[in-house]
Structures are given as structure tokens and as C-alpha cells.
Amino acid sequence: MIAVIVPAAVGDDNAGMATRFSVPGRRGSQAAPGEARVVRTTDSPNCTGACGWLATVVDDVIVDLKPAADYPCEEYNPRGCLRGMSMTHMIYGPDRVKKPLIRVGERGEGKWKEATWDEALDYIASKMIHIRDTFGPESMLLFNQVVGTGYVQKGAQVRMAALLGMSFATAYDFNGDISMGFTHTMGIDCVECETKSWGHAKTAILWSSNVFQTRIPDAQFLTRVAKQRNNCKIIVIDPRCSQTAKGADLWVPIHPGTDGLLALSMCYVVLENGWVDWEFLRTFTDLTTLVREDNGQRLRASDVGQGTDMEFMVWDESSDQLVKLPTETLLQPKEWRPAFRGARTVIIDGESVKVRPVFEIIEDHVMRDIYKPEHVASQTDVPAATIREIAQDYALSRPSSIIIGMGVNHRLHGDLTIRSILLLSALVGAHGKPGESISIYSGQHHFRLDVSSWWFPNGKRPNGVPMHYFVLGQPTATINPKIKFPKNGFKALFVSHGNPLVTEFSGPLKEAIDQLELFVTIDFSMSPTCEYSDVVLPAPTFWEKQELVGTSCHPYLQIQQAVVSPQYDSRTELWMVQELMRRVAPELFPQVDFTEEEIIDLLLANGGKETDGITFDQLVEGPVRLKVHDPEVGCDEQFLEHKPFPPRAYPFPEGAQREFLKTGRMEFYKEEPIFREIGEAIPIYKPAFEHLPPEDQRLPLSIVTPHSKWRVHSTHSNNRVLLNLNRKPVVEINPIDAMKRGIRDGDAVEIFNHNGSYKLWALLTETIKPGVLCVDHGWWDRYLGGGKYHSVHTHQKVKPTHENYYLPAVYAPGQHWKDTRVEIRKA
Amino acid sequence: MTSVIARHQELDDNPSMARMSMLIDLTRCIGCDACTVACKQENGTPFDVFFARVLNVEAGDYPDVMRLYIPVLCNHCEDPPCLKACPNKAIVKRQDGIVLIDQDRCRGTGACVSACPYGNIILQKSEAWYLNPDEPYERDFVKPRLASGVARKCTYCAHRVDEGLDPACVVACPTTARIFGDLDDSESRISRYIVEEGKTGRVPFKLLPEAGTQPSGMYLGPMSEQDVATLGQAAEPPVAEEVTL
């Protein structure tokens, strides 16, 4: 259904719609507009914007797009950006997949047969039946991006995978966006405040986060609100004078990969000056829990006969005895004085065992010379006085916020860096208030409601397998036993709205695809991934289908409308699922026989407390705020209501995360043996590149691959309006590095290392630190001067501390692309 | 069409003494190009034609470097040199201050292009488009919006202004850095903004005042106040050594 909310007048040349198109200073409208209607909708391309739009439609063609600017909270208006506004050039663009395509040549050869839907679906279904009956349904893998952008349509695909017993790879962890530092510390993969909350900050640290490019609709909360109204000090930590540095008070060009060292040095300054919020630490963290010297485990109530092994003891200095931390609340009896320092001896099974508070273990580690600002300065390139200054700003000029970007996270030791930043925030207690949070906006994966009722029929889930293992072709030796790698390997892959063949692992991924019997892609644009497929199914854009949309950046739930009908011969994902189920498992068809509106009703009714009372009809009227705190500050239930961590990660049931955050508090000590084996039980600093082979470590340049405003990942790579402004892929290089190699501005150059190479053009710029290259993420190969985009990036590797547990997209392996080292030469 | 003339005469008959102007707050601007694309979406400009642009400036040498963004568009000057230069009298300044090129009168001499000190008028001998020629969106709804072979520029979205709407770039700016309105109306948003910001010592400035064109468009600084803190070293490899691959 379509909500026509602004009827436009039609008629003589000077009225309504007609006037809009007979413009002074330009020609009158020569094509007489048919009946014009204006539709309120939202887009959802995984930029996290989820911006409201008014689309003007004539004769089933979108002729105009404007921000809806109708959010009840006036500060959110308007939302939108250049990508959303130029989406017409994607909807009607020359790369649009218009008909189902079946490969007739070799994979990637570009020989296709245009097929009818019946032909394409019959072909896929027969292969699926064969694979299911021969190898088992788990040999078929679904990989769809990004599920949080499509609770209904992409949810339908997950529901099909669950019903058929297929495997399902969540994109979020393979994308490297999962922040295991958060999971280790908070029990959830990311924490985000609503962006309105930024406006309250007096100190805002953007730690490799480039919100002026990546969070365009929300950037105003830093510029217009925090800075102009609130005189907030904005600090940008980034090897590039990023676009966001333009709005900063202080730019700190750090050496790539040393962020964790800087964070722990700031912890040093905080501890040295006594800027510690003890009340926060005792309430919200594990720093008062006790670690047994004999086995490195936390002291449990069961050790001392006072309860279970899921209850933990602290030393109360007021009564001089062990007391048991409450498990139902974070609050403790006021009279307690839990000890932060001092070893004690307790009797366990008749033996004397020495125990120490976590705080003391961490303090002993951090308060060493290696983290002293004067020592850290030369390693990070940040002056000692600056380290002290920003630590002081962060600790004392409150409220203070940190926004973490993916430059920190996309590293093998990115988890340690984030644990260190979280330690800093905990020491000063910078959480739980407007303008106080650590946020990492890593994609629109964050479920704002429980989608289980639609995704998991009768609770049945697909077989979760991280994509990493598909790329590796086999399980690692340390794979978590919960992950059931298919016994006969993978035989079919379905990629929906993903473009993994332009990501960093395109080489090994292609090799894995070559082993398959069936490779299907579902997309609206003929991407490089589509080009390598066996069958391409044309999907509508998000302007042509109905959807329920939520995002992490703002708490408004919105309906996405079919502004126009599915264009060309495209069909919705829901329809494709229904037609495949009819063919592959007709007895299960009733399980997918729903309309979009019925599914949205189902989701709203079962969405949890956040959607309580929200109805379809309300959403058709406009955006509706979820039932959450205002403003949301991140982990609201914990910081505001003292409910134990972790916050529930939809769509998993309450308690699913408990095993990896047993204390129910922010954990800075990880007791699982693997952490201690590799020396990561507490947040420490590990140099970024030392895990690389020696020949890679010798390469002279590091490379960063930030997102730019021109694309959402690789979407819009082929948007011709945006290509008009951003014509070809460039590598940003400091003139010092360029001159050494005889490279001039605009030269064709080749970036290379032992993994691969690709060619593009040099952009000499003073905005980048010498020794660092920068190439925007997401270019399709066809725009390069040659080679495979991102083929230089480090190969697939899984950190064993990411395999302790498994919960799809919550506790799962991350990525480490930004640890790459390269060289560059004239092409 | 000729609603441009109609409106021109209508305003002549009934002088409202409006002075439409756009103020761009450079402290708010994030250089995102939403304005650039909103203009394109609204006016249907062909390949390489941008009525609104954002100049992306790098000032200084590493590490003492800053990024600056300067959005530019027709300044709708009080004393427009383009108007005086046009041999065909195709350029008019409406009573509300908006400067327009009448596309039916323009003969494409390019005199206005040379006369504009800001480079904000575009004349293409041939034009290219974005989509396949048979795509109804572009063929029927975008291409007809502008005439070919004539001089073209920003109109302050006069067609929207005449309906009481703000220009497309203004409504699309996600940081509300563009403030549009009538300087002669002390209650307009732009007038109130100037008064309000004046209290903090921020005074609007104009581009190239020495050109004597008296632009209507104006700006508020500062563009950037960013400082830098670094020891200024190059990021060295962990193991420095000459490399050949």
C-alpha cells in the first residue's frame, strides 16, 4: 500500500505540480505531467542514515526527491545526503539488472541468457533439491547484506534458510564491523547512543571516525549543536586530516595502528592524576572482582561455599570479608567498600589461594613506563603534552564522548584497542548521560526490535556459519564447536545485496566459489559479484518495495514504501522466497505465504518492549519513536536502571550472551584460558604489524581504506552523477612519499605487496601523514587502471580469542584489513 | 513558459522591495555536496553542469594543514556584470533581486560567462547525459527542464521561491548551513540569523568584494579553527629496509 500524503494539484500551467516543472530561468515543462503524487518513505542502504524522503511520482517514475524533514524531534530535520538524492540514477541507471540472467559461458565470462522468472527459479530449485538430497541442506549458504536494513525482505530469506535447514552467514562479522572489543567488555558487539546525544558533549573525541563523510545526516549534532551551541571541544585522532578534522578544534595525526597505546597512555594520565570515578567502577565494572593466583580464574561464590559458579566475590573493606556481588542488579549495599587494591588469601578446598582485585592487576600493568606519555609520544607521534591534554579534557571537561571508527576496529588487535578505550571511559565513568558514551556506528546491523517471530519459524534458526570459514574452505583448528561446518562442504551460495567480490578477500573468495555447484546473486545492480554468478535475480531497489526500517543512529521506526512498482522485471525478495519454497519444499509454502503488511504487523506485535503499542497505521503517518529513553545514551538499561550487562542482542533470547560476560559487569579481565595464553587477559598494547610475515613488515607504507561520502560500501560505485563529481579512484599520498618515488599528482600508479596489486591514480595531498596511503573503500574493479581492488589486503585469518564462543554477529570473528603494508610505484 | 517575464513584470507593477539572499554558515558546512546533488536533482542539469558546487580547499603543508569547504553558486549580484554584458538583453534582475537568464532570449554568445567574476555561469556547446537515452526518467522529466545551447546558472530556485519554498539546496542541506530569505524583511530567517550571530561577533562576508558586483550571497566564518598536535614524524615501517618486489 502507498500513503499519498501530499496531494499535488494538476492542471493549468501555473498551478501545483505544473508550476514546479515550468521554471523561470529554464524551459517550461514539455512533457505534460500526468497525475503527480508525493509519497513519504525512507531509504535503507546500510549507511545507518535511514533518512525520510518525500518522493514525487508521475506515471510510476520518481521525478523528485526531497528530505521529508518530518521527524517529531525537530533536531533530526532534515536528514538526507548526496547518495540518497541521486538514487534516481541508480534506480534508472544503465547497470540495473532488468531480467533474470542465467550464465551460459564460464563463470565471469559475461555470457548470459535472459530468462523468464519461471526458467530461472526452476533452474535454481532443481539444483537446490539435488544439493539438499545429495549433500544435505546445510551445504547451501545464504549471505545477505545487511540484514538490519530489511527486517521483512531480507528476513524472508533468513526464514527460508531456517525452514530448509540451510547455512546462514551473517554479514556483520565478515564485514569486519563486529567490534569484539565491545563484546569482550560489554557482552554486545557494539554500543551506540542516538546521535542527538552527541549535541550535549563538551568534549568529543572522534577516534578514526569520519562522521562528516560517513554520518552526513547526523554530523550537524557535532557542528551545529555541540560546537556552536555548546562550545564543545572536538578532537580528531586520525593519520589523515580527515574531512571531519575540518570541524575539529584539534587534529592528532597518530601513527597508524598505535591507537591502543595512546588509549592506555591516557589511562596512565587518568590514574596518575586520580581522576577516577570509583563509584562507577564498583557499580558497573568487574574491577573489584578477585582473580585467583593459582589458576587465573575469577573467584566464584562456589569456590568459597557461598553460592554458584555464576556468582562472584569481592572483598568488602568495611566488614573485612568476602561478599557476593548481586546478580539481579548492579547496585550494591551502600555500606560496602569493595577493595580495588590489595592481595588477600582465601581458603579454597582447604588450600590457601592468593586473590587480587582486577583493578590492581590492571593498574600494575598500566602504571609502567611503557605507557608514560613521554615514552609513548615517539611511538604514536603524539606529543606527551597532548596526551595529557586530551586525557584531561576527556576526564574533566564533561560530558565527554568518544566515537570510534573502523580504522581502529579493522585490525587484528583492534579488540585490544577498543578494550583499552573502554577502560579509559570506565575509569572516568563517562557513560550513561546525554553526551557521554563510547559509540561505534558500524553499520545498520543493529536490530531495534526482536525479529524472531518472522525470521525464525517456531524458533527454528538456520545453521550459523561465519563467512570466514567459507573463504578458508575449511574450519580452523580452533573453531568453536557450536559452529557446524557442513560435513560435505559448501555446494551452493546465495548472495543477496552483497558484493563480496570487491571486498578484501575477493581472490580467496573466488577460489571458494569455484568449488560450488550453484552461485546465485540477488541485486538491483550488475555488480562484479553478479558478473561471476551462475544466476542473477533482479531485485527492486528500496524505493520499490515495502519494508520496516530501524537504525542505530536515531530511534525512529519507519515504513519504507513501494514508491513505484518493482521496476523492469524485478521482484521483491519475499516473492522470490515464496516462489522458491513452492518449488523446493511445497509443504512449507504456507510458512512464507504472508504479505508485507502482515509481516510488519507480526514484527510490531512481537518486537519486544521497544515496539509496544506501535502500529502499522501510525507508521504510515510518519516516523514513530521506539519506546526507548530520550535521548538514548547507550546501554540505557544498565547505566540508568542498573540491570546487569549485557544488553540483549536481538534477535537472540535473553541470556544468550551470558556465557561470555559471566559477571554481568563490564569485564576488563577475561579469564578464558586462550586470553591468558596469548597475553590478552587484560587490555594491553600489541604492535599492529608484528603478526605479519617479516617480508610484509619490511614494506614501507601503511594503507588506510576509509569509507567516503561517494558510496555506501560499494553501492553507488556506478552512480553516474556521483562519478561526475568523483571521477576515478585515487590514492592519497603525501608529496614527500611521492617525490621519493618520482610520482606526480595525477600519475597512474600501482599499489603492490606480496598479496597482490592494483593500479589507480595518485592524488598528492598535504592532508595525509607521510608513510601512509589512503584509498577509498568500495571501488568496483572496472574503474581501476588494472588489477584487483584490495587484493593487497591481508589474507583471511581468525583470532582465536574470537572463537571462544559463538553467537552470530555478536561473538564471532572480526577482520584485520588495515594491518596491511604496501609499496607504491609509477605504473 | 515565460513565467519568468510574467513574474518579472508582476513584480515591476507591484514593487515589493524584497532582497532575496543566501547566507552560508561555513562553520556548519561539512562539505558533503548534498547541495550540489540537490541542485542537480531539482534543475536537471546535464553532465559536468553544476549550478551549486563546493570548493574543497587544502590550506598549508603537512602537518600544518587545514581542510576548508566553500560552497559556491550564483551570487545574484546587486550590480550583475552578466546582465550588462549580455548583447541580447536575456538577463533580468527581478525586483526581489533574483538574477535570471531568459532561456528563450539567450543566443549563447557567452558574454555573461566571461563577465561573471565567480565563474558561476555555464555555457556548453554540446551536452552529455547520465542515463540511457530511452530512460523515461531522464528523457521525459529531466532533459526538458533546461534549454540546450544557452547560458545557464543557478536561479535561487525561483520557481520554488515563487511558491514560498526555499531553494532545493537549502532544504537538502543536512547541517542547515544554508539560510535563505529576504534581507529587507527583518523577521525573515536570514535577517534574524545575521542579528543573532552578530551578537557573537560573527559578521557576514562576501566573495570578491573588490569586483564591485555587490553579491547577494554571503558567508559566515570561521571556516575552520582546527589546530594540530604532532611530533611531525613520518609513519615508519616496523622494520625499515629497502624493498623490491
Could you read off the pLDDT of A542-559 as tens digits, one per residue?
999 999 999 999 999 999
Alpha-carbon distance of B31 to B52, in angstroms, equals 12
Contact status, residue B160 vs residue A25, Cβ threshold 8 Å = no
Query: CA A643 → CA A184, A191, A193, A325, B244, distances in Å?
Result: 18, 16, 17, 13, 57
Query: CA A505 → CA A125, A472, A501, A602, A739, distances in Å?
Result: 29, 10, 7, 38, 31
Sign, CA dihedral A232-A238-A244-A248, equals positive
| A-B C-beta contacts closer than 8 Å | 286
Contact status, residue A557 vs residue A624, Cβ threshold 8 Å = yes
Q: Which of B65, B67, B235 lies at the smallest CB-CB distance from A702?
A: B235
- Given an 8 Å threshold on Cβ–Cβ distance, is A22 in contact with B3? yes
Which of A13, A21, A23, A58 is the best residue to mutate to test the B interface, defined by the most B CB atoms within 10 Å of its own CB?
A: A23
Q: A49 — contact with chain B (CB < 8 Å)? A: no
Q: Nearest residue of A to residue B132 by CA position?
A: A94
Show the cell assigned to A668: 576488563
Q: What is the amino acid identity at position B193? A: Y
Alpha-carbon distance of A792 to A776, in angstroms, equals 14
Please state the domain extents for chain B.
Answer: 3-220
- Given an 8 Å threshold on Cβ–Cβ distance, is B239 in contact with A698? yes
Q: Which of B230, B232, B238 lies at the smallest CB-CB distance from A252?
A: B230
- Given an 8 Å threshold on Cβ–Cβ distance, is A770 in contact with B68? no
Task: Please give the pLDDT value at position A411.
Answer: 95
Q: What is the pLDDT of residues A324-355, one digit of tens each?
A: 999 999 999 999 999 999 999 999 999 999 99
Pick from A180, A230, A182: which is nearest to A434 by CA? Answer: A230
Pick from A208, A261, A219: which is nearest to A704 by CA? Answer: A208
Q: What is the amino acid identity at position A264? A: L
Cis peptide before A78 (omega within 30 of 0): yes
Decide if pLDDT at A23 tops 70: no
Task: Please give the pLDDT value at position B241.
Answer: 56
Supply the angle between the helices A117-135 and A573-584 in degrees, to the nearest 10.
50
Task: Please give the pLDDT value at position B236.
Answer: 83
Q: Which helix (H) or strand (E) holds A536?
A: strand A535-538
For residues A593-599, average pLDDT: 98
Q: A66 — contact with chain B (CB < 8 Å)? A: yes
> Strand pairing of B20-25 and B218-220?
parallel
Q: How buried is A458 (Cβ within 10 angstroms: 0-12 exposed, 13-18 middle, 19+ buried)?
A: exposed
For residues A796-809, average pLDDT: 91
Across the beta sheet with A624-625, the strand order is: A544-549, A556-562, A624-625
Q: Scanning the structure block, which residue is given the C-alpha cell 576515478?
A: A728
For residues B180-188, average pLDDT: 97
For residues B22-47, average pLDDT: 97
Q: Nearest residue of A to residue B56 by CA position?
A: A243
Q: Which residues pair with B99 in a beta bridge?
A: B93
- Given an 8 Å threshold on Cβ–Cβ distance, is A754 in contact with B159? no
- Eight-state DSSP code of residue A225: I
For residues A512-534, average pLDDT: 97
Contact status, residue B217 vs residue B24, Cβ threshold 8 Å = yes
Q: Nearest residue of B to residue A771 by CA position?
A: B235
Across the beta sheet with A437-439, the strand order is: A437-439, A400-404, A203-207, A233-237, A250-252, B227-228
Q: What is the amino acid identity at position B183? A: L
Pick from A827, A706, A825, A701: which is nearest to A773 by CA? Answer: A701
Cβ neighbours of residue A678 closer than 8 Å, sequence gap 6 or more: A800, A801
- Given an 8 Å threshold on Cβ–Cβ distance, is A698 in contact with B226? no
Those of residues 372-411 in A touching chain B at CB distance below 8 A are: 377-378, 381-383, 385-386, 389
CATH assignment of B3-220, among 3.10.450.50, 3.40.50.2300, 1.10.3470.10, 3.30.70.20 = 3.30.70.20
Q: A168 — contact with chain B (CB < 8 Å)? A: no
Q: Which of A31, A79, A252 lies at the smallest CB-CB distance from B174?
A: A79
Chain B residues within 8 A of A389 when measuring between CB atoms: 229
For residues A569-578, average pLDDT: 98
- Given an 8 Å threshold on Cβ–Cβ distance, is A220 in contact with B232? no
Alpha-carbon distance of A463 to A143, in angstroms, equals 12
Chain A residues within 8 A of B224 when measuring between CB atoms: 246-247
- Given an 8 Å threshold on Cβ–Cβ distance, is B137 in contact with A212? no
Chain A residues within 8 A of B38 when measuring between CB atoms: 66, 82, 85
Alpha-carbon distance of A401 to A230, in angstroms, equals 14
Alpha-carbon distance of A660 to A802, in angstroms, equals 11
- Given an 8 Å threshold on Cβ–Cβ distance, is A223 in contact with B228? no
Q: Which of A61, A212, A694 lies at the smallest CB-CB distance from B137?
A: A61
> Strand pairing of A313-316 and B99-101?
unpaired
- Given an 8 Å threshold on Cβ–Cβ distance, is A69 in contact with B171? yes
Task: Please give the pLDDT value at position A508.
Answer: 86
Pick from A454, A803, A585, A587: which is nearest to A140 by CA? Answer: A585
Task: Please give the pLDDT value at position A445.
Answer: 81
Task: Please give the pLDDT value at position A444.
Answer: 81
Which of A213, A541, A724 is the best residue to mutate to test the B interface, defined by the most B CB atoms within 10 Å of its own CB?
A: A724
Decide if pLDDT at A28 tops 50: no
Chain A residues within 8 A of B168 when measuring between CB atoms: 66
Q: Scanning the structure block, which residue is given the C-alpha cell 543573532?
A: B196
Which of B57, B127, B130 is the best residue to mutate to test the A interface, defined by the most A CB atoms within 10 Å of its own CB?
A: B130
Decide if pLDDT at B4 tops 60: no
Torsion of CA A120, A125, A130, A131, to 10 degrees: 90
Show the cell assigned to A429: 565513568
Contact status, residue A436 vs residue A400, Cβ threshold 8 Å = yes
Task: Please give the pLDDT value at position B11.
Answer: 53
Alpha-carbon distance of A478 to A678, in angstroms, equals 14
Chain A residues within 8 A of B230 when measuring between CB atoms: 252-253, 381-383
Alpha-carbon distance of A811 to A147, in angstroms, equals 17
- Given an 8 Å threshold on Cβ–Cβ distance, is A245 in contact with B37? no
Alpha-carbon distance of A801 to A180, in angstroms, equals 9
Decide if pLDDT at A4 tops 60: no
Domain A101-176+445-546+568-594 in CATH 3.40.50.740: yes
Confidence grade of residue A19 (pLDDT, cut at 50, 70, 90): very low
Q: A687 — contact with chain B (CB < 8 Å)? A: yes
Contact status, residue A222 vs residue A236, Cβ threshold 8 Å = no
Task: Please give the pLDDT value at position A10.
Answer: 32
Q: What is the pLDDT of residues A813-827, one digit of tens each?
A: 998 889 999 999 999
Q: Which of B41, B229, B235 lies at the smallest CB-CB distance from A64?
A: B41
Chain B residues within 8 A of A223 when measuring between CB atoms: 27-30, 175
Which of A30, A65, A82, A754 is the best residue to mutate to test the B interface, defined by the most B CB atoms within 10 Å of its own CB?
A: A82
Alpha-carbon distance of B102 to B152, in angstroms, equals 9
Task: Please give the pLDDT value at position B161.
Answer: 92
| DSSP assignment of A802-827 | GSSS-BTTTBS----GGG-EEEEEE-
Chain A residues within 8 A of B238 when measuring between CB atoms: 687, 689-690, 697
Please state the domain extents for chain A.
Answer: 4-91, 101-176+445-546+568-594, 180-276+365-439, 694-826
Query: CA A552 → CA A49, A191, A195, A196, distances in Å?
Result: 9, 9, 9, 12
Contact status, residue A724 vs residue B48, Cβ threshold 8 Å = yes
Contact status, residue A697 vs residue B239, Cβ threshold 8 Å = yes
Residue A738: strand, helix, or coil: helix
Contact status, residue A209 vs residue A405, Cβ threshold 8 Å = yes
Decide if pLDDT at A15 tops 50: no
- Residue A673's CB: how many other CB atoms inside 10 A? 13
Residue B198: strand, helix, or coil: helix
Alpha-carbon distance of B102 to A159, in angstroms, equals 58
Those of residues 178-217 in A touching chain B at CB distance below 8 A are: 212-213, 216-217
Q: How buried is A692 (Cβ within 10 angstroms: 0-12 exposed, 13-18 middle, 19+ buried)?
A: buried
Sign, CA dihedral B196-B197-B199-B200, equals positive
> Strand pairing of A233-237 and A203-207?
parallel
Fold of A694-826: Barwin-like endoglucanases (2.40.40)
- Given an 8 Å threshold on Cβ–Cβ distance, is A86 in contact with B138? no
Lowest mean pLDDT segment, chosen from A375-379, A527-531, A793-797: A793-797
Contact status, residue A773 vs residue A239, Cβ threshold 8 Å = no
Alpha-carbon distance of B90 to B85, in angstroms, equals 10
For residues A773-801, average pLDDT: 89
Kindly state the percentage of chain A with pLDDT values over 70.
Answer: 96
Task: Please give the pLDDT value at position B245.
Answer: 63
- Given an 8 Å threshold on Cβ–Cβ distance, is B234 in contact with A771? yes
Alpha-carbon distance of A655 to A720, in angstroms, equals 48
Supply the angle between the helices A384-396 and A414-428 in degrees, to the nearest 10.
50
Chain A residues within 8 A of B33 when measuring between CB atoms: 82, 709, 725
- Given an 8 Å threshold on Cβ–Cβ distance, is A25 in contact with B155? yes
Show the cell assigned to A625: 519513536
Which of A20, A21, A22, A26 is the best residue to mutate to test the B interface, defined by the most B CB atoms within 10 Å of its own CB?
A: A26
ipTM of the assembly?
A: 0.94
Q: Which helix (H) or strand (E) holds A270?
A: helix A259-273
Alpha-carbon distance of A240 to A254, in angstroms, equals 9
Chain B residues within 8 A of A724 when measuring between CB atoms: 47-48, 130
Alpha-carbon distance of B76 to B88, in angstroms, equals 19
For residues A455-461, average pLDDT: 97
Alpha-carbon distance of A745 to B58, in angstroms, equals 14
Lowest mean pLDDT segment, chosen from A196-210, A301-315, A780-794: A780-794
Show the cell assigned to A406: 573502523
Confidence grade of residue B14 (pLDDT, cut at 50, 70, 90): low
Contact status, residue A616 vs residue A600, Cβ threshold 8 Å = yes
- Given an 8 Å threshold on Cβ–Cβ distance, is A246 in contact with B138? no
Q: What is the pLDDT of residues A723-746, one digit of tens each?
A: 999 999 999 999 999 999 999 999
Alpha-carbon distance of A443 to A47, in angstroms, equals 6
The 3-state DSSP composition of chain B as helix, strand, coil percent (nearest 5) reads: 25, 20, 55
Count CA atoms closer than 13 A to A133's CA, side-chain side: 8
Show the cell assigned to B178: 544554508
Task: Please give the pLDDT value at position B240.
Answer: 61
Count CA atoms closer than 13 A to B6's CA, side-chain side: 11
- A732-767 burial, b at 16+ Cβ within 10 Å, e below that, comes to bbbbebbeeeebeeebebbbbbebbbbbbbbbbbbb
CATH superfamily of A180-276+365-439: Dimethylsulfoxide Reductase, domain 2 (3.40.228.10)
Residue A346: strand, helix, or coil: strand
Confidence grade of residue B57 (pLDDT, cut at 50, 70, 90): very high
Task: Please give the pLDDT value at position A21.
Answer: 40
Show the cell assigned to A538: 533482479
